[in-house]
Copies of this chain bind each other. A is one copy, B any other.
């Protein structure tokens, strides 16, 4: 690129490529929903809102993001929108965040869409999909590929407006106490792995177990489970899993770029004047990027420390990987056949995945391959 582009004629050609959509789609949904008179009085008002989260207070990365969001909104609104953040259990338990925001107990929530799979089978598609989009690609799909509109359509019947508000980047493939050589090694293996990844793992011969992060350490130590995935080096080192498991597998096939969500009670959101709506959406996008930046930076140092502590870093064998990939296709197809909204969202997601992958194979992938 270069600044000195003179050819005005060429600019006309370029507009051909621009016409397929702006990037305002994610903003301004609320514009004009209150009258000018209401707007003027709304400008004076101080809003005191509650934000309930699915995380323990100040939990590294995931739990710090909503605190950063609240501080930023407070600064940008000059104190007109005060958001008080509550950890899991302070007002409602983690897995009741969705209902609490839906019914107005709190105006906002911070968590992950895949927790609400029981209510909406399509929800996990907005967190992460095995063999799916990584963080950069998720943001592309959500903001310039139609994803966010589908997400808002899915949550609308629940009186909720969702938006991205964090991403951990690709996760690790999990902790094991025996080496994986063939897919037969999954047989009888009890692994803590939730969501669509868990479905795939069970179908591939293992037994997926779902348990809170805080129980993983003891469960691995006592043999209640044989293996576990959590997040990535930064969070995994903090939990000390290296003390109770020997092998750390990569890459995380089950969660290649999990999006964290902010959900807002729709009626409460409609009472905000347009400037506060814009402030909320920009602050959410800021923490969406900031969390990824933080994980990108901290995982490196944590990986180094894990290696120094003697953890054996292992790559998933091709055979295991290939079975997981094929199994994922079957699981996704079955889910699509069982639920119309899953089918609709996955059609959009998968088309984007195929398209972006074609380009990333010759750009990001080729670059990683050749950089060093």
Binding site for B on A (CB under 8 A): 1-8, 10-11, 13-18, 23-24, 27-28, 43, 54-60, 62, 64, 68, 71-72, 75-78, 88, 93-95, 97, 111-112, 115, 131, 134-137, 139-145, 168-172, 194, 210-215, 217, 230-235, 237-240, 250-253, 256, 258, 273-275, 278-279, 282-283, 285-286, 288-290, 292-294, 296-304, 313, 315-316, 318, 321, 325, 352, 355-372
Q: Are A278 and B139 in contact (CB under 8 A)?
A: no
Contact at B238–A3, with CB atoms within 8 Å?
Answer: no
Q: Which residues of B contact A215 (CB under 8 A)?
A: 6-7
- Cβ of B2 and Cβ of A143 under 8 Å apart? no
* B95 and A54 within 8 A (CB): no
Q: How far is the CB of A144 from chain B (nearest CB, A)?
A: 4
Determine the chain B residues whose CB is within 8 A of the CB of A286 once the complex forms: 282, 285-286
Q: A23-B68, A368-B365 are in contact. Are A3 and B289 (CB under 8 A)?
A: no
Q: How far is the CA of A279 from the CA of B279 in the complex (A)?
A: 8
In the complex, A293→B214 CA distance in Å? 35
Known: A2-B210, A365-B365. 17 other contacts (CB 8 A): A3-B88, A3-B212, A4-B212, A5-B88, A10-B239, A23-B64, A23-B68, A72-B282, A131-B371, A139-B292, A143-B290, A170-B367, A233-B359, A251-B367, A299-B363, A303-B362, A360-B368
CB distance from A304 to the nearest CB of B (A): 7
A356 touches B300 (CB 8 A): yes
Cβ-defined partner of A358 (8 Å) among B141, B275, B303, B325:
B303
Residues B369 and A365 in contact, CB atoms below 8 Å apart: yes
- A253 CA to B367 CA in the complex, in Å? 7
Residues of chain B within 8 A (CB-CB) of A210 are 2
Instruction: Flag if A302 contacts B88 (CB, 8 Å).
Output: no
Contact partner, A238, options B16, B135, B297, Cβ 8 Å: B16
Bound Cα distance from A144 to B112, whole angstroms: 23
Distance A359 CA – B248 CA, assembled complex (angstroms): 13
Q: When the two chains form their complex, are residues B170 and A3 in contact, meaning their CB atoms are under 8 A apart? A: no
Assess the A1–B112 pair: CB atoms within 8 A.
Answer: yes
- The distance in angstroms between the C-alpha atoms of A39 and B143, with both chains bound, is 36
Number of copies: 2
Known A4-B214, A212-B5, A363-B232; judge A356-B140 contact (CB<8 A).
no
| Closest partner residue, chain B, to A240 (CB atom) | B13
Please state if A3 and B285 are interface contacts (CB–CB under 8 Å): no
Q: Select from chain B the residue with minimum beta-carbon distance to A307.
A: B358
Verify B23–A251 contact, CB threshold 8 A.
Answer: no
Minimal beta-carbon separation of A176 from chain B (angstroms): 15
Please give the distance in Å from A360's CB to the nearest CB on chain B. Answer: 6
A and B contact pairs by CB, cutoff 8 A, 20 listed: A1-B112, A3-B111, A6-B212, A6-B215, A10-B238, A13-B239, A17-B238, A23-B68, A23-B293, A76-B275, A134-B367, A137-B296, A140-B293, A144-B296, A172-B363, A250-B362, A251-B364, A252-B363, A256-B371, A300-B355
In angstroms, Cα B93 to Cα A234, docked, is 46
**Distance to closest chain B CB from A341 (angstroms):** 23
Look across to chain B and name the residue whose beta carbon is closest to the beta carbon of A11.
B56
In the assembled complex, the Cα of A301 lies from the Cα of B134 at a distance in Å of 18
- From residue A7, how far is it (CB to closest CB) to chain B in Å? 3
B364 near A134 with CB under 8 A, answer: yes
CB pair A1–B231 under 8 Å, yes or no, is: yes
Contact A304 B194 (CB under 8 A): no
Of the residues B77, B297, B370, contact of A145 by C-beta under 8 Å:
B297
**Shortest distance between the CB of A191 and any CB in chain B (Å):** 13
